């Protein structure tokens, strides 16, 4: 879905080079049908001619690709990715990708549906796209500059972060909300009369529908930050439990409302 949306977005923004898709026969067929890629190619053939290699599968498969790409790439190519955690991918790329440049990325855009059939040329419009260079100079190479120009043309809001800072922030803005939603929904197994609920419960359990297949790798590659985020969340909930009837709770409601408002003015 992300890879095909990137292809569609590039085309809509005026990119007229060739876009090759590397995936399962069914996935590339769907991507061709969506006009997101020109044609399918085996990894070795695609990478041998690519100026930009965009890795947008699960983190486990991105790590696999990074491990094997070095002998296959053109020396002036840029390899980038769309993985939801950055430290492990960027660290591995520094060790293995020596013949070409790697620049870690994370487009903060998603849908509940997967696959090219759900691709959307406007998916990145107005959404944050994080880049995590190991050092600032990595953003200034000709290929990195051209890549950033295309990201701007497809409407993405570029944010540059250190990999670890990225992983720390998303542990709170993405991974913790996912686990909070899953835990809440999991507890509902004991509730027989779910019609006795307000619309807020639907909001709070939307993320719980997410597939574990995608989350396994995210949790495994960011467990340190996620453990700390969960510990802070548990501590906050304990504090609220001990203060259900005191002014402390009013303060938490005020803090929460302030952050919810700030989020809405930001995104």
- Interacting positions 86-115 with its own copies (CB under 8 A): 108-110
**Which positions from 124 through 163 interact with its own copies, judged by CB under 8 A?**
128, 130, 157, 159, 161
Outline where DSSP puts E strands in the chain: 20-21, 39-40, 52-55, 78-81, 101-107, 128-132, 157-160
d(CA 110, CA 226): 20
Of the candidate spans 18-26, 40-48, 60-68, 174-182, the one that interacts with its own copies by CB under 8 A turns out to be: 174-182
Select the residue interacting with its own copies from 55, 124, 244, 248 (CB under 8 A): 244
Q: Identify the DSSP state of 175.
A: I
Of the candidate spans 5-13, 33-41, 43-51, 220-228, the one that interacts with its own copies by CB under 8 A turns out to be: 220-228
Question: What single string gives the DSSP state of each residue in 60-76?
Answer: HHHHHHHHHHTTTS-TT
**Which positions from 6 through 25 interact with its own copies, judged by CB under 8 A?**
none
**Which positions from 34 through 73 interact with its own copies, judged by CB under 8 A?**
none
Q: How far is the CB of 167 from its own copies (least distance, A)?
A: 11
The answer to whether 240 and 249 are in contact (CB under 8 A) is yes
Q: How far is the CB of 219 from its own copies (least distance, A)?
A: 5
**Which positions from 189 through 218 interact with its own copies, judged by CB under 8 A?**
189-191, 193-212, 215-216
Q: How many residues does the chain have?
A: 267
Q: Compute, in degrees rounded to 10, the torsion defined by CA atoms 213, 267, 235, 214.
A: 0
Closer to its own copies by Cβ: residue 39 or 255: 255
């Amino acid at each position: 879905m992300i890879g095909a949306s990137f292809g569609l977005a590039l085309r809509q923004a005026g990119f007229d080079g060739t876009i090759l898709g590397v995936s399962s026969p069914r996935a590339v067929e769907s991507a061709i049908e969506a006009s997101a890629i020109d044609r399918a190619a085996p990894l070795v053939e695609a990478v041998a001619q690519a100026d930009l290699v965009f890795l947008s599968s699960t983190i486990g498969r991105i790590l696999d690709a990074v491990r094997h790409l070095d002998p296959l790439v053109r020396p002036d190519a840029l390899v980038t990715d769309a993985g939801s955690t950055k430290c492990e991918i960027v660290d591995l790329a520094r060790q293995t990708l020596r013949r070409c440049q790697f620049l870690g990325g994370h487009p903060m855009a998603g849908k509940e549906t997967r696959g090219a059939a759900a691709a959307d040329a406007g998916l990145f419009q107005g959404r944050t796209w994080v880049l995590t260079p190991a050092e600032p100079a990595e953003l200034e190479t000709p290929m990195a500059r051209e890549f950033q120009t295309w990201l701007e043309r497809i409407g993405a809001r570029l944010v540059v972060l250190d990999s670890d800072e990225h992983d720390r922030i998303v542990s709170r803005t993405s991974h913790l909300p996912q686990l909070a939603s899953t835990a809440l929904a999991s507890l509902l197994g004991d509730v027989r009369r779910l019609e006795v609920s307000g619309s807020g419960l639907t909001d709070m359990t939307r993320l719980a529908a997410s597939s574990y297949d995608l989350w396994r790798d995210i949790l495994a590659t960011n467990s340190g930050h996620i453990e700390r985020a969960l510990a802070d969340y548990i501590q906050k909930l304990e504090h609220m439990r001990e203060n259900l009837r005191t002014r402390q709770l009013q303060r938490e409601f005020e803090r929460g409302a302030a952050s919810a408002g700030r989020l809405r003015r930001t995104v």
